[in-house]
Amino acid sequence: MGNEILVFAESREGKLHKTGQQLLSAAKKVQSELGGGDVIALALGTNIDEADLKALGKFGANKVFYCADEKLDLYSGEAFSRIIADKAKEISPRALLLAATAMGKDLAGKVAALLEQPLANDCTELIVADGKLKAKRPVYAGKAFITVVPKDMLVASLRPNVFPVEETQGEAALENFSAEIPSMRDKVKEIVKAASGKIDVAEASIIVTGGRGLGSPENFEKLIPPVAQALGAAIGASRAAVDAGWRPHAEQVGQTGKTVSPKLYIACGVSGAIQHLAGMSSSKCIVAINKDPDAPIFKVADYGIVGDVNEVLPVLAEELKKFLAEKLIDVHNLSC
């Protein structure tokens, strides 16, 4: 087993995904605590700008392996997992890290099986103790955490937006390689994009979520989007709002929806059932608005407003617009 950490850097339509920066920053941090060793990024698919690949060095990559094959432009779990596993066998790193995105979740289990290694899924912390790299992940819907101690290679998927991006100086060495592409029994044929300008809650740095306390789909549409637009935020929904048909399942936050870790999470008319908390409790800053002072959401909130959403949200949207216009602040770069 070597000292390297191998990171799979996702790309979409020739653009590297921001989770790659988060994973590389996390890998670089633990490598310094372990006494050094290369951090290696792995990218697949054509049309990725060479400068963007080399720029991964600013986030911790010493080297980038890049397989530019047009067969890999559209995702195939079978092909991607085989190439990643083969490269991991060749390098024999101490850890292989993927993002717990839709693609990463599909890949992680396949890659771990090919490597005959256990998988630590949806990890929220990497720990160095006793000279070993360990991973911490939530269990029982976030009510407890376990520490995974690998016997050999640590194969882990890391929750997006949990690990901070730390930019340094440097450029990664780029090494192109060719891979034997297995016959692909599964392949993405088409990617249907969401409505223009719509932000995916799983990747958003700010989320405004509405729950059953909004009363109706008309109220949801009237009250939540203005606040989200003022902040440049994604719109989320509780399971109750989705089950009632108010919002699409793609916006659902919680145990049966998406797990999110934004910098700012604003819960409006959300009671805070344990299933919902499981999907958003790792948010950096939580603001709750609810007329029930005993609502469970206030137990995890950093800031709370006890009040009627019908009265609070219009005022909040208007004040945010005025404040942000005057101050010219990029709220996405603020630390809570």
Given a contact cutoff of 8 angstroms between Cβ atoms, the answer to whether 4 and 91 are in contact is yes
- Per-residue confidence (pLDDT) for residue 190, from 0 to 100: 72
Question: Is the domain of 216 the same as that of 326?
Answer: yes
Question: Is the domain of 167 the same as that of 264?
Answer: no
- Per-residue confidence (pLDDT) for residue 183, from 0 to 100: 73
201 inside domain? no
> Which of 156, 176, 196 is a domain's end point?
176
Low-confidence residues in the chain, pLDDT < 50: none
Question: Is the domain of 62 the same as that of 210?
Answer: no
Question: Is the domain of 29 the same as that of 153?
Answer: yes
Q: Distances from the Cα of 131 to the Cαs of 28, 194, 261, in angstroms? A: 15, 45, 29
- At 73 the three-state DSSP class reads coil
Question: Is the domain of 12 the same as that of 129?
Answer: yes
198 inside domain? no
- At 40 the three-state DSSP class reads strand
> Which domain does 303 fall in, by range?
206-333
Question: Is the domain of 151 the same as that of 218?
Answer: no
> Which of 136, 156, 176 is a domain's end point?
176
148 inside domain? yes
187 inside domain? no
**Residues comprising the chain, all counted:** 336
How many other CB atoms sit within 10 Å of the CB of residue 68? 17
Question: Is the domain of 100 the same as that of 26?
Answer: yes
- Per-residue confidence (pLDDT) for residue 197, from 0 to 100: 59
- Per-residue confidence (pLDDT) for residue 330, from 0 to 100: 64
- Per-residue confidence (pLDDT) for residue 314, from 0 to 100: 97
- Per-residue confidence (pLDDT) for residue 120, from 0 to 100: 96
194 inside domain? no
Write the CATH number for 165. 3.40.50.620
CA 251/CA 210 separation, integer angstroms: 10
- Per-residue confidence (pLDDT) for residue 33, from 0 to 100: 92
234 inside domain? yes
Instruction: Give the CA angle between residues 11, 163, 106 to the nearest 5°.
Output: 45
- Per-residue confidence (pLDDT) for residue 25, from 0 to 100: 97
181 inside domain? no
Token look-up 């690998």 returns 150
Question: Is the domain of 89 the same as that of 218?
Answer: no
Question: Is the domain of 231 the same as that of 171?
Answer: no
pTM, two decimal places: 0.84
CA 111/CA 100 separation, integer angstroms: 13
The structural domain count of the chain equals: 2
Which DSSP string do the residues of 86-101 spell out, in sequence order? Answer: HHHHHH--SEEEEE-S
CA 270/CA 272 separation, integer angstroms: 6
